[in-house]
Amino acid sequence: MKKIISVVISLFMVLSLIPFTASAADEIDFTLRISSETDNELTLVLDYDGGTGFSALDIDVSYDRVRLELKSCEKGAGYVAFEKYLNDNDALSICSINQNQNPVKVSMANTIGFKAIDGKKSVITLTFAKVPGTKFAEEDVTLDFTNCQTASFENIAVNFDYDLTAPVQGATEKTEQDATEYPQQTSADNVDEAVDSEIGDSVEGEAQQTPAQSGSEDEPAEKNDTDDGNSKTVIIIAAVAVLVVGAAVIVLFVIKSKKKK
Q: Could you list the mean pLDDT of each consecutive 10-residue stretch along the chain, which spans 261 residues? A: 52 46 71 95 96 96 96 96 94 94 96 93 96 94 97 95 71 39 40 42 44 44 51 62 69 68 52
Contact (CB, 8 A) for 123 and 145: no
Span between the terminal Cα atoms of the chain, in Å:
17
The count of domains in the chain is 2
Q: DSSP string spanning 50-79?
A: EESPPSEEEEEEEE-TTTEEEEEEEE-HHH
Tell how strand 27-37 and strand 157-163 pair up: parallel
Same domain, 51 and 152: yes
pLDDT of the residue at 255: 73
CA 171 and chain centroid, separation = 24
Q: CA-to-CA distance for 220 and 197, rounded, in angstroms?
A: 37
Same-domain pairing of 197 and 245: no
* Residue 115, domain extent: 24-217
14 shares its domain with 29: no
| 122-130 and 104-110 beta bridge pairing | unpaired
Q: Tell whether the torsion through CA atoms of 226, 228, 229 and 233 is positive or negative.
A: positive
Q: What is the pTM of this model?
A: 0.56
What pLDDT is recorded for position 53? 94
Q: What element of type H or E holds 149?
A: strand 141-149
Same domain? For 32 and 127 the reply is yes
Backbone CA torsion sign across 222, 225, 229, 231: positive
Q: Which tens digit of pLDDT belongs to each residue from 136-159? A: 999 999 999 999 999 999 999 999
Say what the pLDDT of residue 37 is.
94
CATH of the domain at 78: 2.60.40.680
Per residue in 192-232, pLDDT tens? Answer: 444 344 444 443 444 444 444 444 444 444 445 555 555 55
